[in-house]
Structure 1
């Protein structure tokens, strides 16, 4: 009898621990996904073409600081790398993330933490930034149809740290992305298909 009671007690403890783990996992999942919008394209088919892809950790600029901050391109340069790619594709003239970071740094576009200040960016000749874009499938599809490459905030691997990628097209029910930390194009579904913010940066030479 004592053995049976002990086994039942152990079984109950295991079930209790599993229940607690499931609750904790659900809580973490909720907190990680909070504020995001799940996006899939409509029937829009815009194959990615003529992509100017860059890596933020390219040796030529990996150790460059973002303005006067302590953050480097390799560690925190995903957003400026996406902007460099978008501007290069829009203007037809390649500008590397290293060169764009130098321009931003010289013109005090970054704050002390290496964050881009949008008003300072728009003060640069030729640059415009739409940072109030609604995060929705129609808004994203409209940007792509107009020839723009939206920059979106995602979480790495879907649940990790915040990261920026550039959406460059839509194919087979998924958005195609240029990820500054990937050697090849990725899909928005690689980040669970969830977007936390959207930016559109343009530059007229």
Structure 2
């Protein structure tokens, strides 16, 4: 089709989200019919994007083609995004000779990186908050169980436990210095008379 060594080449760069001319009018108006293709790196084949005919644009069904238009300065990208980056070639449709070959670089904006870092930071913060909350609940539960176990071992429940709520107007009766009016048989747990 053409000898890549004889085709003029260039490196172009358009920042992400910006617009920019990739092929000037002096090249577009030089020929009747030109075809722009992009190299598919997975198959190493050239994928047709669009064609121009005396400064008029003919889009293909390729979704990337909608991002190109003819401006006062030439073939222009409306909105640069990472998917447009890659190797392109412009050839004469009549004989397939190369007019221009270029690599388009789309530098990612700092704002996008800032948003990504903010999202990762927020996710880490939420995980830490969740972890702290779980740890505090477990610690409270362990403290409550420890306090309850200590109270039971000493023969009383901690204040505020529902089982201990006594009315100050009607204190429990005490006989023989015991907390209960009758003692229990340790073998049967029955009250002794």
TM-score by length of 1: 0.20
The structure richer in strand per residue is: 2
Larger Cα-atom Rg: 2
Which of the two has greater helix per residue? 1
Alignment TM-score, normalising by the size of structure 2: 0.21
Higher normalized contact order (CA 8 Å, seq sep 6+, divided by chain length): 1
